[in-house]
Amino acid sequence: MTLSNDESLGRGIAFPPGIGPAGRWSWSTGIENIEQSIRIILRTNRQERIMRPAFGGGLSRFLFQPNTAATHRLIEETITQALGRWEKRIRVQAVDVGPDPDEPDAVRATIRYRVVRTNTDNSLALRIQLS
């Protein structure tokens, strides 16, 4: 069986889980699957998964932290370390965190990464609520 380029990057049940038009689980493949994995990793708190207590980035720990350069730097480090450990299909090239222009109590994190298998560059933006 030959995998399409998208499937060679990974395939899994879509997140959030849902039922597709055929009445079966919805699946994600390729870059979509990688981006869903990134979101899951970063939003999962450590100790949340019983069989993998070290799994996750735990970005919710920044809730109620000030929207300052020091907090931004801690978020950048957390994202870089978590993805370096848990998402082996990519190499993080840069993480930029700054105030969200639409929400004063949130930050926007832009993650620039390279897909290892295809050597292609991509980016993903996340909004992280601070209060």
Q: Please give the Cα distance from 55 to 41 (Å, whole number).
A: 7
* The two three-digit tokens of residue 48, written as one number: 């949340």
E-strand stretches of 7-87: 11-13, 27-29
Q: Rounded to 10 degrees, what is the CA torsion of 111, 116, 117, 120? A: 50
CATH number of 5-129: 3.10.450.40
Strand partners, 100: 103
Residue 5 has pLDDT above 70, yes or no: no
27-45 in b/e form (b: 16+ CB < 10 A) is ebbbbbbbbbbbbbbbbbe
Residue 3 has pLDDT above 50, yes or no: no
pLDDT in tens, 36-61: 999 999 999 999 999 999 999 999 99
Q: Please give the Cα distance from 83 to 70 (Å, whole number).
A: 20
- The structural domains of the chain, with segments of one domain joined by +, span 5-129
Strand partners, 92: 113
